[in-house]
């Protein structure tokens, strides 16, 4: 088989994968692939590693890698589950309606610019179907290294999925939303994701009170 034929075949198989056609059983690529590797101690180098990562099937269908954005020395870090379709399409954070809503929550309630917080996702590539634990596991070491390097005083998890994956905890989200907990000695406040709020506008009031609590914690930190 020539290299040209191989390339055509791989492109075709990747296309089938992108349209959710299963041509063979999934190959599980666990985060053990990078656990034994020393990740860079600098965000720019870590970003370069992630941009060239092909540990899971998300890399086959992504348009852009959304590594992280904002102040690398921020006291507060927001973590969402995955890039939105608009963010994947355009290649930057706060794109689309959910991104615009999050920006308003940060700037209008916390009274800080969106560029002054640090934001990232559990996974750095948009899923073509439904995000699964295997995808998160593959990206988990990158996220943990990001948290270590940014070293925030407060983490905001956006949405039930983000909280449950980060803490490996399936606790009822309504019982823990808005309540302070700890992750590796860092304060954490779980709240609704912007995409959830767009689908459930009646929850915006609760999200507003969560943001006021976050504001008070930030003021006490500073």
Task: List, in order of start, the domains of the chain with CATH numbers.
Answer: 33-221 (3.40.470.10)
Name the CA dihedral angle for 182, 187, 189, 193, rounded to a multiple of 10 degrees.
-100
Q: What is the pLDDT along the chain (222 residues), one digit of tens a residue?
A: 444 554 455 555 555 565 655 544 444 434 444 554 689 999 999 999 999 988 888 888 889 999 999 999 999 999 999 999 999 999 999 999 999 999 999 999 999 999 999 999 999 998 887 888 888 998 999 999 999 999 999 999 999 999 999 998 888 999 999 999 999 999 999 999 999 999 999 999 999 999 999 999 999 987
Q: Which pLDDT score, from 0 to 100, does residue 30 have?
A: 41
Give phi and psi for 41, each to the nearest 5. Answer: -95, 35
In this prediction the pTM is: 0.82
Predicted pLDDT of residue 175: 93
Query: How confident is the model at residue 25, as a pLDDT?
Result: 47
Let me know how long the chain is: 222
Alpha-carbon span 178 to 189, nearest angstrom: 6
Measured CA to CA, the distance from residue 87 to residue 96 in angstroms comes to 7
Cα distance between the two ends of the chain: 63
């Amino acid at each position: 088989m020539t290299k040209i034929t191989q390339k055509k075949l791989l492109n075709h198989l990747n296309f089938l994968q992108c349209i959710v056609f299963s041509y063979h059983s999934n190959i599980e690529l666990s985060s053990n692939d990078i656990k034994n590797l020393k990740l860079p101690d600098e965000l720019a180098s870590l970003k370069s590693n992630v941009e060239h990562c092909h540990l899971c099937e998300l890399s086959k269908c992504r348009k852009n890698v959304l590594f992280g954005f904002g102040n690398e020395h921020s006291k507060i870090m927001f973590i969402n589950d995955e890039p939105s379709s608009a963010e994947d399409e355009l290649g930057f954070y706060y794109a689309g309606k959910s991104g615009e809503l999050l920006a308003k929550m940060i700037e209008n309630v916390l009274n800080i610019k969106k560029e002054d917080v640090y934001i990232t996702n559990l996974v750095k590539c948009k899923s073509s179907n439904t995000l699964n634990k295997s995808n998160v596991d593959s990206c988990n070491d990158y996220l943990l290294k990001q948290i270590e390097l940014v070293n925030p005083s407060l983490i905001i998890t956006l949405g039930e999925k983000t909280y449950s994956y980060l803490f490996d905890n399936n606790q009822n989200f309504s019982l823990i939303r808005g309540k302070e907990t700890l992750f590796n000695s860092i304060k954490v406040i779980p709240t609704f994701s912007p995409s959830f709020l767009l689908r459930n506008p009646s929850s915006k009031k609760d999200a507003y009170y969560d943001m006021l609590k976050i504001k008070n914690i930030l003021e006490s930190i500073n």
